[in-house]
Amino acid sequence: MISRRHLALLAAPALLPTAVRAQDAWPSRPVTLVVPWAAGGSTDAVARILAQKLSTDTGRSFVVDNRTGANGTIGFNSVARARPDGYTMLVSTVSTYAMAPHLMPLPYDNEKDFVGIGLIASMPIIMVVNPSFPARTLAEYVEIARRPNSNLTYANSGTGSSTHLATELFLQEARLTIQDVGYRGGAPAVQAVLANETPMVFQAASGILPHIRSGSLRALAVATKERSPLTPEIPTFAEQGFPGVEVVEHIALQAPTGVPADILARMHALTKAAMEAPDTRERLSALAVVPTIGSTAEWPAYFAAENAKWRNMIQARNIKLQ
């Protein structure tokens, strides 16, 4: 006779493969990584490097879909409306998940419609000036800016962009009033400083590192907590008396709320391995991007802190989209 204990042991193997098969079945078809920015930009480049590596590592197809417009919120909205089955993910940036919600009405719930898988990469933001500008340090820049009738200006690559808000955060911390000159994007803003139309701009390292290294732009400070491994020679704002000026162009991975936890965990593990692979690091370094892997458990606290920080700053500076 077969005892109940034997029956349980016989039944257990039949149950276990079902759970394993459910997890291993993903992905069984192409996974779409939605990028809310245009093709050719830094975020798009990071997403394509990740997609290629994930496709190679898993033998499954990971594809990038650029859904652009409205400060990234069109792409976010498409993901919010997607089925939470693990086949639509979002490659997001801090400017959309922590800044845009406090500048415009959203067609989705920024807090409830997405789950964070974690940070995947970061780009340091650097303050630079035209080399003809007399300041060689941040202290000298602040001293010049505080002179009566200094009439300084800075290049604004777009109201509400991470680089614009980084500049405004610095002006708030330094108690400076400097007029902005608007440009249609980061590249035109950098070109304006190169041409000395305006002396200063904040920009992600990916857009200005070659100019810094060639001497056509002078770096005064980097807005990371500690010196960036990409630019160890550039001092931080904190080192120079402005610890509140910490702004990093973070890139994260999110998904629609409701994606099963085992799929989120597998995606995180696959992404971590892909981003930390030596060949990936080499490709990212050429773009001035640093792999920055955050855990899913860390996401809620990080997300809440970033949103509170930028909500308070935007309200204090009365920043509004034109």
The domain segmentation of the chain, as residue ranges, is 26-123+249-317, 124-240
Torsion angle (degrees, nearest 10) of CA 227, 228, 233, 237: -50
pLDDT tens digits, residue range 246-278? Answer: 999 999 999 999 999 999 999 999 999 999 999
Q: Cα–Cα distance between 261 and 241 in angstroms, integer?
A: 43
Residues whose CB falls within 8 Å of the CB of residue 18, separated by 6 or more in sequence, listed in order: none
Q: Record the pTM.
A: 0.87
pLDDT tens digits, residue range 124-176? Answer: 999 999 999 999 999 999 999 999 989 999 999 988 899 999 999 999 999 99
Q: Please state whether beta strands 114-129 and 290-291 pair in parallel, antiparallel, or not at all (unpaired).
A: antiparallel
Cis? peptide before 30, omega within 30° of 0: no
What is the residue type of 258?
A: G
Q: Which fold has domain 26-123+249-317?
A: D-Maltodextrin-Binding Protein; domain 2 (3.40.190)
Nearest alpha-carbon partner for 183 in 213, 160, 158: 158
Q: Which fold has domain 124-240?
A: D-Maltodextrin-Binding Protein; domain 2 (3.40.190)
Q: Cα–Cα distance between 189 and 203 in angstroms, integer?
A: 9
Judged on CB neighbours under 10 Å (0-12, 13-18, 19+), 226 is exposed
